[in-house]
Amino acid sequence: MKIVVIGGTGLIGSKLVTKLEEHGHEAVAASPNTGVNALTGEGLAEVLAGAQVVVDVSNSPSFEEKAVLEFFETSTRNLLAAEAAAGVGHHVALSVVGTERPPGNAYFRAKIAQERLIEKSSIPFSLVHATQFFEFIRRIADEATDGDTVRMPPVLFQPIAGDEVAQAVGRVAVGTPLNGRVEVAGPEQVRMDDFYRDALASWGDPREVVTDPHAHYFGAEVLERSLVPEDGATLGTIRYRDWPGRDAAAK
């Protein structure tokens, strides 16, 4: 099966391409680095020729409100049009747990716009909603840093290893289109402030984690269950403390 992975040279995309190839599929990594740009449409017709499935794990280079919305709307419209012309039978997109729940930030609103375009298209689809990746744990702390403190809300948090996200996306990609969504998350729920207090201590990071119910997560406050899945989610097995990439990611 030919599966084109948009964003195939990135964090999740590169893992996904490897896993699909290990299972005997023709997995094509498509990104601006390989001459394929979903935002401009460059190279889409050529790379989609003969493809049965397209998996979109691309991400916006900017989280600024206007830029991120333009990225996901424009790239998704271009992809869906090219897929329809090429006769692609399954569109898979990676999204985020909690996008549809208030209150949302600019990034979540952009992902909702992307999902609505996919749902309204004529192409059978599957949406994979994942929680935050272990690989982005440090970035989240840096975003929440105020001087020498990291302000974190005491809400539930359930991050997941990137390898297990790629594995879940791969399973969906080779299966029958869901015309709906599935959620994937890490194996354990913890309080976000407690998680980061332990994580920074394990990194030897001198910043102090301050519990703040009004702390923003990328521009917006979050509620108790904004970032964790509903019942029935697929759960990974790797805990953050056991994750092989923890020390490297912390740096």
* Region 9-23 average pLDDT: 97
Give the CA dihedral 144, 128, 110, 143, nearest 10 degrees.
Answer: 10
β-partners of residue 91 are 54, 125
Residue pLDDT, tens place only, 187-246? 999 999 999 999 999 999 999 999 999 999 888 888 999 999 999 999 999 999 999 888
Assigned token pair, 48: 């989609």
Residue pLDDT, tens place only, 55-93? 999 999 998 999 999 999 999 999 999 999 999 999 999
What whole-number distance in Å separates Cα of residue 146 and Cα of residue 27?
A: 43
pLDDT at 103 over 90: no
The beta-strand segments (E) located in 88-155 are: 90-96, 125-130, 145-146, 149-152
Every domain of the chain and the residues it spans: 2-250
What whole-number distance in Å separates Cα of residue 181 and Cα of residue 220?
A: 24
Query: Can you give the pTM of this predicted structure?
Result: 0.94
pLDDT at 4 over 70: yes
* Cis preceding-peptide flag for 213 (omega within 30 of 0): no
Q: Is 28 exposed, middle or buried (0-12, 13-18, 19+ CB in 10 A)?
A: buried
Residue pLDDT, tens place only, 111-138? 999 999 999 999 999 999 999 999 999 9
Mean pLDDT of the chain: 95
Contact between 181 and 126 (Cβ < 8 Å): yes
Where does the pLDDT of residue 105 fall: very low under 50, low under 70, confident under 90, or very high at 90 and above?
confident
Contact between 35 and 8 (Cβ < 8 Å): no
CATH class of the domain at 2-250 = alpha beta
